[in-house]
Structures are given as C-alpha cells and as structure tokens.
Chain A
C-alpha cells in the first residue's frame, strides 16, 4: 500500500493489522458480509489518512501564500520606501547641518560685537578712573568725552545687532521639530520591516540550520566596525566597554602611561 510508508503512527498500523487478521478470518470462514464490513473499515481508515495528508498540504500552501504576501510587501518596501527613507534621512542631515551653520554664523558675527563692548568698556573705564583721580588734562578729558559719546552710541548699535542675531539663532532651532517628524516616519518604516522580517524568519525557521561559523563571522564584523568607527554610543543601547565620558578616557589613558 502506497500510504503505508507515510503512516508513522503505531496506532494506525495496529488498526491495519487487526483489520487484516479479521479479514483473513472472515474470508477463511467464508463470511462475505463480515469481510465486506472489514473492507469498509479499512477504506474509512485510509480516507482518514488522506484527509490528514490533505490538511498538511493545505497548511503548507497557506503558509507559502502568506510568505509570498510578505515577500511582496518586502519587495515594495525595498523598491520604493527604503530609498524614500534614505532621502528623508539625507534631508535630515542637510537640515541639521544648515541649522548648525546658521547658529555658528550668528556666534561668529556676534562674538566680535560683544568683545568690542567688553574691551572698549574696560579701556574707557580705566580712563574714567583716571579722570576721577584728577589725572586728566583738559584736552584729555575732552577726548574722553568724545570717546564716551561714541562708545554709548556703539553699545546701543551693537546691542541691537546682537539681539537680532540671537533672534536668528532662535529661529534656526526649528529644525528639531521638522527633523523629528521625518525621523519618526522612518522609525515607523523600520518597525514594519522588522515585523516582516520576523515573520519571514518564522516561516522559513525550520529550514534554518545552526551555523557553527556564525559567531566567528559576527566577531569579524564587530572588529571591522570598530576599526571603521561606530559613531556615538546611544544611551540605553547597552553597548559594552563604552566609556561614560572624558574622565574615564583620561583614567584609561593614564593607566596606559599617558
């Protein structure tokens, strides 16, 4: 019987054996009716096996179709959404870069204005103290008055310019909101990809075999990443062997004789 080899259950085999013995007995005894009923039983038994096989096949087909569906979604993600996400993230880099440059420009333009007020203020204060000590000639005092006039004018002007620069720095911070929204969308996409991949791994799970070289390969990849540089450590990502700040770097280096 073709099905025989596919019936691993002892119970089923036992049922066949019992039925066969009974059939032989009925045939030997010339009981046609009894023999017929045993054959009916056997047919029923065989049908049960067929249904079980069919059930397995149906389940496999269902999983395959589901996998195909995931494949399709993954293909979609690969073709359009990942490049789109890449563009979005590049835009985030551009925006943060622009904001940083805008702020740096503000600082570079404001610093000399403030510095001038501080330096000139110190110089005139010294002159003013000399006047209070009655050390200035009339001509020197006139010169000081002229300089003070000019200074006060410049203080107002520089103050206004620095205020408007600070406003510019304030406006440059709007990147946080905009990039935050873009990054959130990319996170949603990453989550979807993750979910799909987990499904794929689950479906094809039984086909995966233990790879003895996997650990070695992972180590090699980690080493290569370390050489290339991994970028900033992200708080809470549980990276091992990461220093917590400059103090730890200094301690480590001094322990190495630096």
Chain B
C-alpha cells in the first residue's frame, strides 16, 4: 500500500535551497502538503503541535541536530511512532548505525535522486502499514 498523498510532511534542513529541492521532489511524487523548519529547535514545537504525519530531516544543523531531534521524537509519547526519514550528507558507517539505533525509519545520503527518495518513502509506509514500524 502506498503512502497517503495528503499526509502532512515536515521537511527540516538548515539550507532553504535543500528544503525547496525536497519540497519540489515531494510535489513531483504527489505529496503537496509540506511544512518546513530550519533545525531541530524550530521543528520540535511544530511536531508537538500535532498534525504532522511524516518527518524528513537533515542531520548536521546548527541549534539542534537531526539526530537529537530524532531522539527527542522517539522519547515523546505522542510522537514516538512518527515515521522519520533522514536525508543527509553524513556518510560514516558509525553515523548510519547510530541513526538506526536511535530509531530512524530510512536513511538517504546526499546527493540523492527523486527515485531514491520515492523508494525510501514507499518502503517506510509499506512497513508502517504492515504494522512493522522501523
């Protein structure tokens, strides 16, 4: 089962151009309902306010990093089941394992393609819909 095209997606990246690229790719994939934040500190209140179905976040950001944001999300009773896709330039095996341990649902390294993004999003929702989670 594919993901709901109307789901609300929060895109977190400190570079506005990368947010714009991801938003454009999402639109191309049929997801038009997106909101943005520029780091973990601004993303967390948006998430806590509710209504976000899916989180796409960068790792390396000033303020709160994406890894820290992921940990906060997993520690929050209301948000702990939120599907999280990390889209980042961080490419160390150690880091990928760390993100996996922190409970990330998917990991895309920059630079990436629209096909990769679609594949990871579809895979995440396949698992979510199958009740398997991360």
Contact = CB atoms under 8 A, between A and B. Distances in A.
A227 B110 contact: no
What bracket does the count of chain B residues touching chain A fall in?
Answer: 20 to 34
B17 A97 contact: yes
A230 interface: yes
B29 interface: no
Interface in A241-258: 241-243, 245-246, 249, 252-253, 256, 258
Interface in B54-71: 59-61, 65-67
Contacts of A233: 89, 91-92
B16 A226 contact: no
A241 B90 CA distance: 11
Contacts of A249: 91, 96, 107-109
A232 interface: yes
B91 A101 contact: no
A241 B95 CA distance: 10
Interface in B70-104: 88-98, 100
A230 B109 contact: no
Given A107-B24, A227-B65, A232-B110, A246 B116 contact: yes
Contact of A229 (B24, B67, B116, B134): B67
Contacts of B112: 246
A256 B94 CA distance: 12
A172 to B, nearest CB: 12
A241 B24 contact: no
Instruction: List the 6 closest A-B pairs by CB distance, nearest first.
Output: A229-B60, A100-B17, A232-B89, A229-B59, A241-B93, A242-B91
7 contacts: A108-B24, A228-B60, A231-B90, A232-B91, A241-B93, A243-B109, A256-B100
Interface of B: 15-17, 20-21, 24, 59-61, 65-67, 88-98, 100, 107-110, 112, 116, 134
Given A226-B98, A231-B90, 17 more contacts: A100-B17, A226-B92, A227-B65, A229-B67, A229-B88, A229-B95, A231-B89, A232-B91, A241-B94, A242-B91, A242-B92, A243-B109, A246-B109, A246-B112, A249-B96, A256-B100, A258-B100
